[in-house]
Structures are given as C-alpha cells and as structure tokens.
Amino acid sequence: MRQSIWRTLSVTLLAAALVVGCRQKETGSTSEAPKAAPKETPKDGVSGVPAPAERAVDLALAKLPLAGAVKEVKAKVLDKKGDDKTKGLVRLKVFAGGVDVGENTRWEVWKPGSDPEEQKPEMTAWATGERAVPPGTWDLRLRYEEGAICKADGWIRKVKIKAGQLWKAEADMAAPMQYIRIFATLDGKDVGNNAYVDVFKAGTDQEEFRPIAGFWTTGKQAVAAGNYDLRLTYDKDKVKAKAALKGFTVGGDHGIQKKTIALEKQ
C-alpha cells in the first residue's frame, strides 16, 4: 500500500516538473527579440534637387557695376519710411542657380574704394529681411558660405540709398554646389558614422598637402561644384580600414548626392 502511494506521488511530482519546464522554455522563446535586418546603404545618385524659387516680376535690370560671383541684379526703388526716418531701407534677396540662398548669405555695406583686407564694413546683415542703411552711395559685398569648401563672394557697386526710400533688389550669384553624403561599408556592412572622409582637390599630392575639408560618413556636407579626391579612414574596436576615391565629381544643382564606398581592412 505504501509503495503504491509513493509511486503515485513520484509520478505526480515528475509530471509537474515537466510542465513547469515546458512553460519556462515557451516563455523564454517568446521573449527573445527578433534580429534586426542589416541596414541597407542608399543607392548612389542625386536626389532632393530644389525647384526654382519664386521671383519678383516687377524688378528691372539694374545697371550697376558688378564683380566677383555676382552676375546679375534686378531692383526698384519705392517710397517707404522706416523707424529711423533719417535712413533708407534695403531689402536684398540672393539666389544661386535659381535657389534662394539668403539664409547662408550676408551682405555688407562698404564705402566705395575700401580695401576689405585692411578695413571693415560699415554694417552687415543677412539677406533674409529688410535693414535700415544710412543715405549715400555704397558698395554692397555679398558673401555666401555653407562650409569650408562652399563659398562665393561678389560685389554690387555704386548703390544709391536715400532716406525715406526702399531699395528692393534680387541678386544672382554663381555658386554651383551639391550636398554630399558618403556612406562606407566594411565586409558588406554599413559602418554608420564611424568612418572619416578627407577631401582633396583632384590630383593633390596627399602626402604633401593637407585636406581642404573633412567630415564623418552619413553627414551632409556642402561642397562647391568640381572634382575631388576622397580618402576614408576607419578605426574602431581594434579594426582599421581605409579607402580612396579619385575624381569624385560634384555637380551644381544644389541637390543631394549620395555615394557608397567599400573599405578594406589594414
């Protein structure tokens, strides 16, 4: 009788243990996170080319001396008084390739004949709004800049400003550029922002001259139109790799050019 009871009790305990074990195994299997799919790098090419900006239709070609990157100016004069009635007003928009680049362009007011290397401007402002300017005849310097290798500089000379009047103008500059995004792979996998890109003018002796700019992969970098040599380096988790790309061409449509480069271990 006692043996029968012990046998029954042993079987019951064994069955209970098996049930608990199975439940734990099932719970463990459902809690495992699915493996993330490998990140794919974008296809090479140009995207995001901006549409031409809206332009004023009531401006006339201004017959003013121009220099540098400024290629054309259209303007008109209106009666308009600002808060300081002893001054005139200037509203100057700047375009490059049909794209409004005012947020990255400053205009400076200079006395005619000034030397920019030795003297300072009378005032400076972003090309995004309206500013009061003392009456007189001035040279306006336009300085577009979106980074170390994306700049343009030009002049509009002999601009006459009168108190109680607004000089409203639009200037076109020669500033072709693109934003570039460089992606790097190692053993077929995207290394994210862990590779560094040095930029050289095409044909530069890289052992003798420093790069003209540098940035981390995946970041968006403004670059003036032209041909460049790129050098990539990677150093992470005791793994070193590098790559080089000769004659990389940057266009002038203000779009975003994407390029993927494969790294080689050292």
Chain centroid to Cα 256, Å, comes to 9
Q: What share of the chain is helix, strand, coil (3-state, %, to 5)?
A: 10, 50, 40
For 221-235, the pLDDT digits (tens) are 999 999 999 999 999
Write the DSSP string, 190-223: E-TT-EEEEEEETT--TTTS--SEEEETTS-EEE
The alpha-carbon radius of gyration of the chain (Å, integer) is: 32
34 pLDDT above the threshold of 90: no
Q: Which residue is listed with tokens 């001396």?
A: 65
pLDDT computed for residue 41 by the predictor: 76
Averaged confidence pLDDT in the chain:
89
For 78-93, the pLDDT digits (tens) are 999 999 999 999 999 9
**Residue type present at position 204:** T
Nearest to 43 by CA among 256, 265, 241: 256
> Residue 128 contacts by C-beta under 8 Å, 6 or more apart in sequence?
102, 103
Nearest to 230 by CA among 215, 240, 251: 215
Q: What is the mean pLDDT of residues 27-39?
A: 50
26 pLDDT above the threshold of 90: no
Show the tokens assigned to 27: 């719970």
Residue 80 CA to residue 100 CA, distance in Å, equals 25
Tell me the percentage of the chain whose pLDDT exceeds 70.
85
Q: What is the mean pLDDT of residues 238-262?
A: 97
Give the domain ranges of the chain. Answer: 60-173, 176-265
Adjacency order of strands within the sheet including 226-236: 213-216, 195-201, 226-236, 239-250, 264-265
Q: What is the pLDDT confidence band of residue 5, given thresholds at 50, 70 and 90?
A: very low
Q: What is the mean pLDDT of residues 112-123?
A: 96
Q: What is the pLDDT confidence band of residue 127, given thresholds at 50, 70 and 90?
A: very high
Tell me the percentage of the chain whose pLDDT exceeds 90.
83
15 pLDDT above the threshold of 90: no
> Residue 68 contacts by C-beta under 8 Å, 6 or more apart in sequence?
142, 152, 153, 154, 155
Q: What is the pLDDT confidence band of residue 13, given thresholds at 50, 70 and 90?
A: very low
Residue 246 CA to residue 249 CA, distance in Å, equals 9
Residue 203 CA to residue 227 CA, distance in Å, equals 9
Alpha helices in the chain (DSSP H): 2-31
17 pLDDT above the threshold of 70: no
Q: What is the pLDDT confidence band of residue 7, given thresholds at 50, 70 and 90?
A: low
27 pLDDT above the threshold of 80: no
For 65-76, the pLDDT digits (tens) are 999 999 999 999
Q: What is the pLDDT confidence band of residue 40, given thresholds at 50, 70 and 90?
A: confident
C-alpha distances out from residue 46 to 222, 246, 258, 262, Å:
14, 19, 6, 19
End-to-end alpha carbon distance in the chain: 78
Can you name the CATH fold of 176-265?
Immunoglobulin-like (2.60.40)
For 143-158, the pLDDT digits (tens) are 999 999 999 999 999 9
Task: Give the global pTM.
Answer: 0.81
